[in-house]
Amino acid sequence: MSKTHDELRQAEQFRHGSTVVSGLRIKGQISGSEDLVIEGTVEGPINLAENVLTIGTNGNLAGDAVVREALISGNMNGNLKTSDRIEIKSSGSVIGDVATNRMVIQDGAYYKGSIEIG
C-alpha cells in the first residue's frame, strides 16, 4: 500500500469517530472529542460538545446528551442540547426536551417533549 492510501484510510477512520456496535451495552458517562455512533445501547449522559452524535436504527440511548449535532434514527430517552442541529429520521424516536439552533423531524419520526430553538 502507498503512503497516500494509508493516510487516507487513517483520515477516514478518524472522521467516523467511535462506534458502540449492536449487541454492546455501555452504562456510564461518555465524554470526549470525537464523533460517536451508537448502534448498541448506552445508559448514561454523553458530553461531546464539539462533535456529532449518531444513533443508528438499532441504537438506544437512555440519558442526556450535549453535542454539536445529533442524527437520530434509533431511540433516545433523555434531554438533548446541541449547538448546531438535531435531525430525527423517519425511524427515530426521541422522548425528552431539546435545545438547539436548528431541528428537522422527518415524516414518521416520533418526538415527545419541549423544543427550545435559538
Burial readout 92-102 (b: 16 or more C-beta within 10 A, e: otherwise): bbbebebbbee
Report pLDDT for 8.
Answer: 52
Percent of the chain with pLDDT over 70: 86
Report pLDDT for 10.
Answer: 54
Please state, in angstroms and as integers, the Cα–Cα distance from residue 83 to each residue in 25, 61, 105, 106, 108, following that order. 27, 19, 17, 20, 25
pLDDT per residue over 40-85, tens digit each? 999 999 999 999 999 999 999 999 999 999 999 999 999 999 999 9
Other Cβ atoms less than 10 A from the Cβ of 46: the count is: 23
- 20-24, 52-56, 73-77, 108-112: which range is least confident on average? 20-24
- Asked if residue 59 lies in contact with residue 20, where contact means CB atoms within 8 angstroms, the answer is yes
Long-range contacts of 32-41 (CB under 8 A, 24+ apart): 38/74, 39/74
Is pLDDT at 117 greater than 60 in this prediction? yes
If we measure between CA atoms, which residue out of 81, 96, 26 comes closest to residue 49?
Answer: 81
